[in-house]
Amino acid sequence: MKNKLEERLRKYKRTYITLDELINFYQGSIEYDIFVEFIKDLENRGGIEPVKKSGYNNGLVPLAYKYRVNKPYFKQKYYNRLNKKQWEINSLLSLESYYALDESIFSNDEPYINLISKYIYNYD
């Protein structure tokens, strides 16, 4: 369930998300106290940050009405994958432009990047 939330936030396009939108991710499939636990855990790990000006609800454990989504937090696995691949391929190739693109684009291009890298190693 927690992975479901992180996956949706990773694909989320906007910088801010409301509490109502977060609740709608789980609409009827999770109890509120478990939901609060997920949100607080994500806050503590730096995935989302409460917008204090938006205010807090009156729950037992108050949650902000609006959160800032930390995009780099959700893309860290992808960035690590790019860094590892950059070390594996020929140094003449650069993967820098992939940091701004979606992971699916890199996944589609990866076999071709490997082929080009092997070609450069073999034929310089």
**Tens-place pLDDT, residues 40-52:** 999 999 999 999 9
**Tens-place pLDDT, residues 85-120:** 999 998 889 999 999 888 899 999 999 999 999 999
Q: Which residue has the tokens 């937090």?
A: 73
Structure confidence at residue 34 as a pLDDT band (50, 70, 90): confident
Q: What is the distance between the alpha carbons of residues 45 and 39, in angstroms, rounded to a whole number? A: 10
Collapsing DSSP to helix, strand or coil, 18 comes out as: strand
Collapsing DSSP to helix, strand or coil, 10 comes out as: helix
Please report, for residues 32, 49, 51, 93, the alpha-carbon distance to residue 16 in angstroms, rounded to integers and kept in the order given.
Answer: 21, 9, 9, 35
